[in-house]
Amino acid sequence: MTRKQKRGILIGAGVAILAAAAIMVAFALRDTIVFFKTPSEVAEGKVPVGQRFRLGGLVADGSVVRGQGTKITFAVTDTIGNVPVSYDGILPDLFREGQGVVTEGKLDPTGRFVADTVLAKHDENYMPPEVAAALEAKGVKLGEGATHPGKANN
């Protein structure tokens, strides 16, 4: 083989691997990504039943109901829309009413969000940026002076 041929084989193999990887990436990005939705978007019916997505907002005050065993239901709100959520499992340490939360799962036909993952962030003052941005976009006041049910009085 000449030098050119050898190099050709090497470059060809490299390009083939890259192309295969690029195809996989494109494929994966279409199928595996999860969109982030707010409760009002869900309440407006913008999300089809059965599609996997992330729902983020605040845990509505007084909505947490513990059922049999580790089953739990609560509502996620952005103060405009309200979506009931059911979950079976152990909640993160920082899960609390009035706190920001991100849940992942699907809507069932009755409009209830069945979550298989519940995330709360590891910081007392932390609100997931998506939640903060979404809430602010909906005109909900955040930051200093915001009515945070757990903290309004002191």
Partner 1 sequence: MVVEFGHFALVLATVVALFQMLVPFWGAQIQEQRMMATAKPAAIFQFLLLTVSFLALTYAYVVSDFSVANVVANSHSTKPLIYRISGVWGNHEGSMLLWVLILAAFGAAVALFGNNLPLTLKANVLAVQSAVALAFCIFLLSTSNPFLRLDNPPMDGRGLNPILQDPALAFHPPFLYAGYVGFSIAFSFAVAALIEGRTDAAWARWVRPWTLAAWMFLTLGIAMGSWWAYYELGWGGWWFWDPVENASFMPWLSGTALLHSALVMEKRETLKVWTILLAILTFSLSLMGTFLVRSGVLTSVHAFAVDPERGVAILVILSIFVGGSLALFALRAGELRQGGLFSPISREGGLVFNNVILTTATATVLVGTLYPLVLEGLTGAKISVGAPYFNLTFVPLMVPLLLALPFGPFLPWKRADLAAVAQRLLVACLIGLVAMVATMAMSMRGPWLAPIMMAIGVYVMAGALQELAYRVKLGSVGPQELMRRLWNLPRSMYGTALAHFGVGLLVVGIVGTSAYRTEKVLVMKPNDKVEIAGYELTYKGVAPHRGPNYREQVGAIDVARKGKFLLTLHPAKRIYDAPPQPTSEAGIYASWQGDLYTVLGDAQKEDGGFAIRVYFNPLVRFIWIGAVLMFIAGGISLSDRRLRVGAPRRSNRKVGQLAPTPAE
Partner 2 sequence: MFLWIAFAVLAAAVIAALARPMLADQVAPEAEDEADLAVYRDQMAEIDADLERGLITRSEAKSARAELGRRMITRADDQSGEAKAAATWVPSPSPTHLAYATAAIVPVLTLVIYLGVGSPWLPGMPLTARMHSDPTKSSVNELIAKVEAQLRQTPEDGVGWDVLAPVYLRQRRYDDAANAFAQALRLLGETTKRLRGFGEATVMANNGIVTEPARKAFERIVELDKDNPNPEARFWIALSNEQEGKIAEARLGYENLLKDAPEGAPWKAVVENRLNNLDGNTKGPSAAVGTPPGAKQAPTAPPASGPQAAPGPSAADVAAAGQMSTSDRQDFINSMVARLADKLQKNPQDFEGWLRLVRAYSVLGRTADAQRALEDAKKSVGEDSEKKSRLETLASELGLKSS
Contacting positions for partner 2 (CB under 8 A): 147, 152-153
Nearer to partner 1, 27 or 62 (CB): 27
Burial 101-132 (b: 16+ CB within 10 A, else e): bbbbbbbeeeeebebeebbbbeeeeebbebbb
Nearer to partner 2, 51 or 147 (CB): 147
**Count of all residues that appear for the chain in the document:** 154
Nearer to partner 1, 14 or 45 (CB): 14
Torsion angle in degrees (nearest 10) through CA of 77, 80, 82, 83: -80
The item of partner 2, partner 1, none sharing an interface with residue 65, based on CB under 5 to 8 Å by kind, is: none
- Residue carrying structure tokens 């049999």: 68
Instruction: State the sign of the Cα–Cα–Cα–Cα dihedral 40, 114, 123, 145.
Output: positive
The item of partner 2, partner 1, none sharing an interface with residue 110, based on CB under 5 to 8 Å by kind, is: none
- Contact residues toward partner 1 (CB under 8 A) are 1, 3, 6, 9-10, 13-14, 17-18, 21, 24-25, 27-29, 31-36, 54, 66, 69-70, 88-91, 93-94, 121-124, 126, 128-130, 133-134
